[in-house]
Amino acid sequence: MKLRICICWLALLSCSFAKSLTQRAPISIRSIDDSLTSTLKDNEQQLLSVGAPQITAERNTTPLPKVETCDEHNAPGRYMIYCSGKLLEAVMAVKLYNDSKTFVDQPMKEGKTGDGISKAFATQFPQPVEQISRDDVQKFVNENFEQEGHELDSCTSADWQNFPKSFKVIKDPTLRMFALNLNSIWKELCRQVKPMVKQSPERF
């Protein structure tokens, strides 16, 4: 019984003390803030009195240069296809592919140009994008573009090894097998760009 009374008394005392701190905290913080501000002002005056230059912050009003990520400057001959334009808008509007990146990975067919394809689409489909069917967009794309990845060839890296020497330090057989399986995947992942990309970069 005495222990219970002591615990209750300590709880009441703690609540009273916490309330007192809460009421005093704003005054204490304000006092510290006022004191700090006063000290900073005094230090500034002392620096100025000995000839130290006054430091002022100036706002930079110089406009930043406009940088386009994809336009006629960095994608000549193809920006009207892969960066903007009615065809790109239609491909996205009809959700031609599950991945929106698929279309921009499709190179133009040999003999086709970005300007020619853009004008052909505008002539064939003068109506608003909302009125162009998905089948029509798919047919047009198939006629003018290769499949994505057309510009890449499978390859094997010259320094690839079936069993790298560094794997010998792996003592655990399970981990070693995991490393070997991971290493073998590189034979499937390796790709190299076909020479035609360098010859006709505007198609890609």
Domain boundaries, the chain: 79-150, 152-193
Reported as a single tens digit per residue, the pLDDT across 143-183 is 999 999 888 988 888 888 989 999 999 999 999 999 999 99
Q: Give the integer Cα–Cα distance in Å for 14 and 23.
A: 14
The torsion region of residue 139 among left (phi > 0), alpha (psi -120 to 50) and beta comes to alpha
Look at residues 86, 85, 82 and name the one whose alpha carbon lies nearest to residue 131.
86
Reported as a single tens digit per residue, the pLDDT across 20-66 is 544 544 444 455 556 656 666 676 676 666 665 666 656 767 777 77
Question: What is the SS3 assignment for 2?
Answer: helix
Encoded amino acid at 127, one letter:
Q
Q: What is the pLDDT of residue 5?
A: 44
Q: What is the pLDDT of residue 199?
A: 87
Q: What is the pLDDT of residue 40?
A: 61
Q: Give the integer Cα–Cα distance in Å for 180 and 174.
A: 10
How many residues in the chain? 204
Reported as a single tens digit per residue, the pLDDT across 94-152 is 999 999 899 999 999 999 999 999 999 999 999 999 999 999 999 999 999 999 988 89
